Structure 1
Amino acid sequence: MVAPPATIGSGVGWAASQIPNQYTDPDRVATILAKLGKPKAAKYLKGKLPTSKRTRSGDLGEIIGAQYATLELGFRVVERLRWKDHREMSMRGDDLVGVRASTNGTLELLKGEAKSRVRLGTATVTDADDALKRDRGRPSPHALSFVADRLHGLGEHTLAELIDDAQLISGISQRQVVQLLFTFTGNDPRALLRANTTAYRGRVKRLAVGLQVSEHQAFIAKVYSKAIADA
């Protein structure tokens, strides 16, 4: 997916609108807003956002990848950046873990890796490939427990219980999993992604999706600046 120059402004607005809910619980912000007013609520949100270019790049790649998995693939992806140890640290484990119920009510899972680079190279795709192959191509048990705990806490018990049943009773087959290799780059990722999917011999279905924004770093800076200004 190549972002035409004319769409960059609306793209910045859309991405900035996703930022607050990814890093904070809306109820928490609403409480601060009601008790302390807009400036303090904005200060709280700003304190959650990373300031380094590298962390912002990685986080935004994960945020956009999660939105793709949600809006285009129909998976529920938990906003895991809310639980970062520090705003400048990356989250460990699988980048994207999605869950959905099939038409017959059985569990379907997404395991994804999101990579954000000015110039995507072979080494980065290889790292993502290695990560997707871990745990026999399935989301790690720890990542699934994390998602189930968060879903229970959010009141989404039906999906959470599907994960609990799969982990504790029935197990998870590779047929229940879809992998997503998502890249957010300044250069054209197609040749590298096609090479990866052509060479892939795993038993888990894999999708490779690239979003190319030519002014990659400027786009990221504008997104976070707008998210702070809007707050």
Structure 2
Amino acid sequence: MTRFAEWCTQAEIPAANHKLQALNADPQKLGEAVGIVAEMIPDHYVMPGRLAQLLNRLGRSAVAAYVAEKLPTSLPLKSGDLGEILCTTFVHEGTSFKLGIKRLRWKDHRNMAMRGDDVLAFSLGEGATGLKVLKAEAKSRARMPASVIAAARGALSAYGELPSPHAMSFVADRLDEASDKPLRDALDDAQLKRSLKPSQVTHMLFAFSGNDASTLLATNLNTYAGEAAQHYVGLRVENHKDFINAVFAAVEG
């Protein structure tokens, strides 16, 4: 749990017929925030059962070493991974989309970025249209420019507003490993029967930055004319670089 409310102020910003939220980290609570975020980082890189197995067999030092080998070493990759992690936890904790996977567990290499949609999350009701999908793009910059937000907007609108076929198949395959048959079958139906519609999709653009990106987000959001619901989030941590480094140092320490 990232518990944003414990270290951020939150505000809703009027934006057309969609949703825009601004979160600002309290400078006086950044030490607390580092501890909260660092605590949940390992779960995004390693299956809990794997950690438990290592802990039981080899102890805490082995667990720490194993997790450290999963973490990126460069600041740009740490920044990108942390943006995706914060977006994932925001979605699972603060929206109705509670189902899905933590995809960083399947990175090819700790110093390689993953391709495809940054975050996919789901809710599952009854019937053919019971599947609802959140497709998110997470961007992390010390100073967020309009060009990065525009690129994220383009990625969200790609594939006819829907998740990419590769991303959906990737999640379905991981759900098969996790024995989550109902959601796996719903994703297979959406893919193979081509039953998913933009009206079942919500887009999230999650901007994690050192500057206040709310005006840029609002401007971009007001240009959207598609069918999918829109939810933009700006998370500002003024000392962006220091915060990222502190979080990963806390995990490794």
Normalised TM-score (structure 2) = 0.87
More moved, 176-185 vs 100-109: 100-109
* Contact preservation (8 Å) 1:66, 1:77: no
Deviation of the 1:170 alpha carbon: 5.3
Alignment map for 1:183-194 (pairs within 5 Å)? 183-194=207-218
* Contact preservation (8 Å) 1:69, 1:77: no
SS at match of 1:50: coil
What is the aligned partner in structure 2 of residue 29 from structure 1? 51
Deviation of the 1:103 alpha carbon: 6.7
Q: Return the letter of the residue paired with 1:7.
A: K
Alignment map for 1:64-83 (pairs within 5 Å)? 64-75=86-97, 76-83=99-106
What is the aligned partner in structure 1 of residue 191 from structure 2? 167
d(CA) in 1 for partners of 2:172 and 2:107? 17
Deviation of the 1:73 alpha carbon: 1.0
SS at match of 1:48: coil
Give CA deviations for 1:127-173 in whole Å, capped at 9, x if unaligned: 10111111011101110111111122122222112111222235111
Are 1:152 and 2:153 an aligned pair?
A: no
d(CA) in 2 for partners of 1:129 and 1:4? 28
More moved, 148-157 vs 212-221: 148-157
More moved, 149-158 vs 190-199: 149-158
Are 1:47 and 2:69 an aligned pair?
A: yes
Distance change >3 Å, CA 103–CA 189, structure 1 → 2: farther
Unpaired segments ≥5 residues, structure 1: none
Give CA deviations for 1:26-72 in whole Å, capped at 9, x if unaligned: 11122122222221221111000111100000000000001111111
Alignment map for 1:49-64 (pairs within 5 Å)? 49-64=71-86
What is the aligned partner in structure 1 of residue 146 from structure 2? 122
SS at match of 2:72: coil
| CA RMSD after TM alignment | 1.4
Alignment map for 1:14-25 (pairs within 5 Å)? 14-25=36-47
Give CA deviations for 1:104-138 in whole Å, capped at 9, x if unaligned: 68100011100000000011011101111110111
d(CA) in 1 for partners of 2:202 and 2:213? 21
What is the aligned partner in structure 2 of residue 143 from structure 1? 167
Are 1:109 and 2:140 an aligned pair?
A: no
Are 1:208 and 2:235 an aligned pair?
A: no
Give the structure with the larger helix fraction: 1
Q: Return the letter of the residue paired with 1:175.
A: S
SS at match of 2:112: coil
Q: Return the letter of the residue paired with 2:244.
A: I
Runs of 4+ aligned structure 1 residues displaced above 3 Å come to 102-105
Deviation of the 1:205 alpha carbon: 1.2
